């Protein structure tokens, strides 16, 4: 039985989780919650905070779970009047059965392991281009902000090429997508929602134009493959729009954070940076460890569809669970000395890509991007230093940088 003080600490940790001072290092807060219970019923949240590795993994795989983000957004009485919410709730990640397995099948038929493998040479070419541009900008000795210079535009360029969005349009879509994703975390102002509706209208226009072009002339890209699924009757008009726009956004939103957080973490752990430089063969495990340590998406929300047992507790239907992947990835029952970055760690998988029916469809694309671009950065520059004020992103659920100025030397 936890003491009153421990419970107070856990509640205070939950209240502080998304506050700016805690954003760079929220992990002691997850520890405070986990110390009381790995499946903790919080009065502040009005929901369960799940911070245990085993428990997050188990809950993510329970077939009876429903999507909590969807349930929460639908509580807004006027959600149907906002296109930004309507289209978001049609995104693959927010669907429940029977719609989810049907759309997932189509998405998996298009976004195949082979389609990802075929991206390797494009990713290498793009990574090389962005790293050389970094070098060019760093030449005059001025700091270069890694986020707008590489961490953002590189994954945008990769997913744009994969989908078949022309290079110059990718960054325009990216700006519009940012207005839209601002409302995805659930905390936004009415003005944010108005702007999101406007930007979604514009995005729809551009994507409709792409669909028209690919109907007229197929190419070797994912938009053509999606248009084919639509023509075969496996997607209706709205599903086509929802899937294409969601694939585009999931292609960069999180990978951007993985890249920026990884570079920063390596700078804070110079011995590991040197180890990776000297032992390129650890690249695969290095990226897995950076995914674990930095957890680019801090968690996800589920709603119990029926009574479940989790962490020794019985939880009735209709209760919200916050699956805190960032906490689970630092669970000492699963990982030895979990706060330590150890690029050679081999202790079983992290939960950064979720689990179960909604397991990240782009996990291997994200891995490939990081495995290619991170070694290029650390090997291209012998000197890498933080040079100025860093700024973390404040969007709920995302862990990464808005600005990361670096001094780079050959
Ligand atoms: C480091 C990068 C990435 C991270 C950390 C990440 C993380 C996640 C997580 C945690 C989920 C599950 C969400 C939930 O259960 O509620 C998810 C789902 C998804 N991710 Fe990723 N992701 C990344 C990159 C990508 C990329 C590059 C793509 C490519 C388009 C992608 C496509 C998707 C899709 C389509 C889903 C929804 C799957 C479904 O609901 O069936 N992700 N991702």
d(CA 57, CA 201) in angstroms, rounded, equals 37
pLDDT at position 404:
98
Residue pair 18/29 in contact (Cβ under 8 Å)? The answer is no
Please report which residue ranges of 37-166 form alpha helices under DSSP H. 53-60, 68-74, 83-89, 99-110, 113-117, 120-138, 146, 153-163
Q: Is the CB of 362 under 6 A from ligand 1?
A: yes
Residue pair 182/188 in contact (Cβ under 8 Å)? The answer is yes
pLDDT at position 394:
82
Q: Is the CB of 352 under 6 A from ligand 1?
A: yes
Residue 292: which CATH number?
1.10.630.10
- Which pair of tokens denotes residue 317? 């239907």
Rounded to the nearest whole angstrom, what is the distance from the C-alpha of residue 155 to the centroid of ligand 1? 14
- Which pair of tokens denotes residue 238? 């709205």
Q: Please state whether the predicted TM-score (pTM) of the whole model is above 0.85.
A: yes
> How many CB atoms lie under 10 A from the CB of residue 6?
15
57 found inside a domain: no
Structural domain count, the chain: 1
Q: Is the CB of 366 under 6 A from ligand 1?
A: yes
Q: Is the CB of 229 under 6 A from ligand 1?
A: no
Give Cα 273 to chain centroid, integer Å.
Answer: 24
- Which pair of tokens denotes residue 65? 């779970």
Q: Which atom of ligand 1 sits closest to the CA of residue 248? A: 30
pLDDT at position 38:
97
177 found inside a domain: yes
d(CA 48, CA 373) in angstroms, rounded, equals 38
Q: Which residue lies with its CA nearest to atom 1 of ligand 1?
A: 255
Question: How many CA atoms, within 13 angstroms, populate the side-chain half-sphere of residue 15?
Answer: 8
Q: Is the CB of 261 under 6 A from ligand 1?
A: no
316 found inside a domain: no
d(CA 132, CA 136) in angstroms, rounded, equals 6
pLDDT at position 338:
98
- Which pair of tokens denotes residue 231? 């023509």
Per-residue pLDDT tens digits of the chain, which is 410 residues long: 788 899 999 999 999 998 888 999 999 999 999 999 999 999 999 999 999 999 999 999 999 999 988 888 888 889 999 999 999 999 999 999 999 999 999 999 999 999 999 999 999 999 999 999 999 999 888 999 999 999 999 999 999 999 999 888 888 888 899 899 888 877 789 999 999 999 999 999 999 999 999 999 999 999 999 999 999 999 999 999 999 999 999 988 899 999 999 999 999 999 999 999 999 999 999 999 999 999 999 999 999 999 999 999 999 999 999 999 999 999 999 999 999 999 999 888 999 999 999 999 999 999 999 999 999 999 999 999 999 999 998 877 889 999 999 999 98
Q: Which residue lies with its CA nearest to atom 9 of ligand 1?
A: 353
Q: Which residue lies with its CA nearest to atom 31 of ligand 1?
A: 362
> How many CB atoms lie under 10 A from the CB of residue 95?
21
Expressed as residue numbers, the domain containing 258 is: 74-306+356-409
Q: Which atom of ligand 1 sits closest to the CA of residue 359? A: 12
186 found inside a domain: yes
349 found inside a domain: no
d(CA 410, CA 53) in angstroms, rounded, equals 41
55 found inside a domain: no
Look-up of token digits 């856990």: 10
pLDDT at position 395:
78
165 found inside a domain: yes
pLDDT at position 265:
98
7 found inside a domain: no
Residue pair 158/369 in contact (Cβ under 8 Å)? The answer is yes
Nearest to 155 by CA among 176, 180, 174: 174
Q: Is the CB of 374 under 6 A from ligand 1?
A: no
Rounded to the nearest whole angstrom, what is the distance from the C-alpha of residue 143 to the centroid of ligand 1? 32
d(CA 220, CA 305) in angstroms, rounded, equals 41
Q: Which residue lies with its CA nearest to atom 43 of ligand 1?
A: 360
- Which pair of tokens denotes residue 44? 């502040």
For residue 278, what are the contacts with CB-CB under 8 A and spacing of at least 6? none
Q: Is the CB of 62 under 6 A from ligand 1?
A: no
Q: What's the burial of 208, exposed, middle or buried (CB within 10 Å: 0-12/13-18/19+)? A: middle
């Amino acid at each position: 039985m936890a003491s009153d003080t421990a419970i107070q600490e856990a509640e205070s940790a939950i209240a502080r989780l998304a506050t700016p001072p805690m954003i760079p290092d929220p992990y002691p807060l997850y520890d405070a919650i986990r110390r009381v219970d790995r499946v903790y019923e919080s009065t502040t949240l009005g929901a369960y905070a799940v911070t245990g590795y085993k428990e997050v993994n188990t809950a993510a795989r329970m077939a009876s779970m429903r999507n909590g983000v969807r349930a929460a957004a639908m509580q807004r009485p006027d959600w149907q009047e906002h296109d930004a919410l309507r289209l978001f709730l049609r995104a693959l990640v927010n669907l429940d059965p029977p719609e989810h397995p049907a759309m997932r099948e189509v998405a998996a038929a298009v976004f195949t392991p082979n389609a990802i493998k075929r991206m390797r040479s494009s990713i290498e070419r793009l990574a090389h281009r962005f790293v050389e541009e970094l070098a060019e900008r760093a030449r005059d000795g001025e700091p270069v902000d890694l986020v707008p210079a590489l961490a953002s535009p590189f994954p945008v360029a990769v997913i744009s090429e994969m989908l078949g969005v022309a290079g110059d349009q990718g960054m325009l879509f990216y700006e519009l997508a940012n207005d839209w994703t601002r409302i995805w975390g659930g905390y936004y102002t009415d003005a944010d929602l108005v702007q999101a509706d406007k930007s979604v209208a514009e995005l729809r226009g551009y994507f409709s134009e792409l669909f028209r072009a690919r109907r007229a002339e197929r190419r070797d890209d994912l938009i053509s493959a999606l248009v084919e699924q639509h023509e075969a009757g496996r997607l209706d008009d709205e599903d086509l729009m929802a899937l294409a726009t969601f694939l585009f956004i999931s292609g960069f939103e999180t990978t951007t954070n993985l890249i920026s957080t990884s570079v920063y973490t390596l700078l804070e752990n110079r011995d590991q940076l040197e180890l990776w430089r000297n032992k390129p063969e650890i690249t695969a495990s290095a990226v897995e460890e950076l995914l674990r340590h930095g957890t680019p998406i801090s968690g996800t929300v589920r709603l119990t569809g029926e009574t479940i047992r989790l962490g020794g507790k019985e939880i009735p239907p209709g209760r919200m669970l916050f699956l805190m992947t960032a906490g689970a990835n630092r669970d000492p029952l699963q990982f030895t000395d979990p706060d330590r970055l150890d690029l050679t760690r081999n202790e079983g998988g992290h939960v950064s890509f979720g689990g179960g029916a909604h397991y990240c469809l782009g996990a291997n694309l994200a891995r490939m991007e990081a495995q290619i671009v991170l070694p290029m950065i650390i090997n291209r520059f012998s000197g890498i230093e933080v040079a100025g004020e860093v700024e973390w992103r404040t969007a709920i659920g995302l862990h990464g940088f808005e600005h990361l100025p670096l001094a780079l030397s050959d």
